[in-house]
A = this chain, B = another copy of it.
């Protein structure tokens, strides 16, 4: 639907109102066709803050609770947005499905392979679709690159990289142990904790679940030096944190082999000082693009300098303009809004409009679990000295011939 036009009203529940959940709820509350019917969070102060906001913007007061179950048991919502701690996404989504409520999950990893199967099985059994709100799939750059890949700019794809490289030492280290769920993961696990920001877009470049699939991975973790050093320096106010053992290695690198012979490298790099990057790199038989130097080289198109001994990088600016996606052309005309450069808004519109139109979600249950299971499998590989670990085929063979059933401007797969 054209950006800025709205369809029939969709009654939503919103679960999880921490930093991210609160901001996202505000964005939802700004949409004319969304009615927030019920909200919950474990902490009453967060519930109150959300209620205050809705009142302030003139929205009707929703049902409010400290229990997610209370939201999921309501009969007046058809969909729910789950923005709780990573490890609670799957059980909450499965409860929603069983109650006939369509769940949208915020991004994150997985706790076990089994919970991924449980989500697939629940969705298939109850015929309730699931979406993951992987905003980066709707990033301006990512959609431009998807367009370039589909138009063959890189030739046959061979190797793709992505990363979540974000200095979270302060964010993870500053909280107290009880409320900051992310802290538990960093203190206690060692894994590719957060794969989907880069893997979502990469999966589309490589047609994962649509004629291609990820076969196996290996993962290796560096020592954990960055967060301990930071907490030792900054958290003497809380000695149990300052002296806490940190299990999460500073840099975790995961390699993934695909059925069609392409390889993927993912990097999780969140506890050392560094600028933010999603570490993108796309390579094919015709050329290469790299995020960190915003550069590209395409055989036969990039300028050739006869005085230089080999190829030279070209800035990617002209390509980013030339191959901009139709969705982003419209969005720039309309005016971007919401967080993360505007992509948060787009992923919500994809969710809401698919519900309104009764069409398939563009990031479905198979995508959700295929991307998120990497956390668990990388954890297993690291624990076993980087042994290769097989990646389940959650489609049970449907990937061989599957086509994306989503429709309209938010469709991502083929």
> Which A positions have Cβ atoms within 8 angstroms of B?
155-156, 158-159, 166-167, 216, 218, 220-223, 225-226, 229, 249-251, 253, 255, 257, 260-263, 265, 269, 272-276, 283-288, 290, 292-293, 295, 297-299, 310-313, 385-388
- Taking A255-B218, A312-B275 as contacts, is the C-beta distance between A285 and B387 under 8 angstroms? no
Instruction: Provide the residues of chain B in CB contact with A166, threshold 8 Å.
Output: 310
A260 to B261, CA, bound (A): 33
Tell me whether B253 and A223 are in contact (CB under 8 A): no
Rounded to whole Å, the gap between the CB of A138 and the closest CB of chain B is: 20
Tell me whether A158 and B388 are in contact (CB under 8 A): no
Tell me whether B310 and A167 are in contact (CB under 8 A): yes
Tell me whether A260 and B218 are in contact (CB under 8 A): no
Tell me whether B274 and A297 are in contact (CB under 8 A): yes
Tell me whether B311 and A222 are in contact (CB under 8 A): no
Per CB-CB distance, the 3 closest pairs between chain A and chain B, nearest first, are A223-B261, A159-B251, A273-B299
- Taking A288-B274, A293-B293 as contacts, is the C-beta distance between A385 and B388 under 8 angstroms? yes
Instruction: Provide the residues of chain B in CB contact with A269, threshold 8 Å.
Output: 159, 283
Instruction: Provide the residues of chain B in CB contact with A167, threshold 8 Å.
Output: 310-311
Rounded to whole Å, the gap between the CB of A167 and the closest CB of chain B is: 6
Contacts beyond the supplied A222-B262, A274-B287: 5 A-B pairs with Cβ under 8 Å: A159-B250, A223-B262, A272-B284, A273-B286, A273-B287
Chain B residue, CB-CB nearest to A292: B293
Instruction: Provide the residues of chain B in CB contact with A216, threshold 8 Å.
Output: 385-386
A134 to B95, CA, bound (A): 61
Rounded to whole Å, the gap between the CB of A287 and the closest CB of chain B is: 5
Tell me whether A386 and B310 are in contact (CB under 8 A): no
| Partner of A292 from B229, B263, B276, B292 at Cβ < 8 Å | B292
Tell me whether B275 and A158 are in contact (CB under 8 A): no
| Partner of A222 from B155, B226, B261 at Cβ < 8 Å | B261
Tell me whether B220 and A250 are in contact (CB under 8 A): no
Chain B residue, CB-CB nearest to A263: B222
Rounded to whole Å, the gap between the CB of A385 and the closest CB of chain B is: 5
Show 23 residue pairs from A and B whose CB-CB distance is below 8 angstroms, ordered by the A residue: A155-B229, A158-B222, A158-B250, A159-B250, A159-B269, A166-B310, A167-B311, A216-B385, A218-B220, A223-B261, A225-B284, A229-B285, A253-B263, A255-B255, A272-B287, A272-B288, A273-B311, A274-B297, A276-B310, A290-B292, A386-B388, A387-B387, A387-B388
Chain B residue, CB-CB nearest to A222: B263
Rounded to whole Å, the gap between the CB of A289 and the closest CB of chain B is: 10
Tell me whether B250 and A283 are in contact (CB under 8 A): yes
| Partner of A225 from B158, B218, B229 at Cβ < 8 Å | B158
Instruction: Provide the residues of chain B in CB contact with A218, threshold 8 Å.
Output: 218, 220, 255, 386, 388
Instruction: Provide the residues of chain B in CB contact with A225, threshold 8 Å.
Output: 156, 158, 261, 284-285
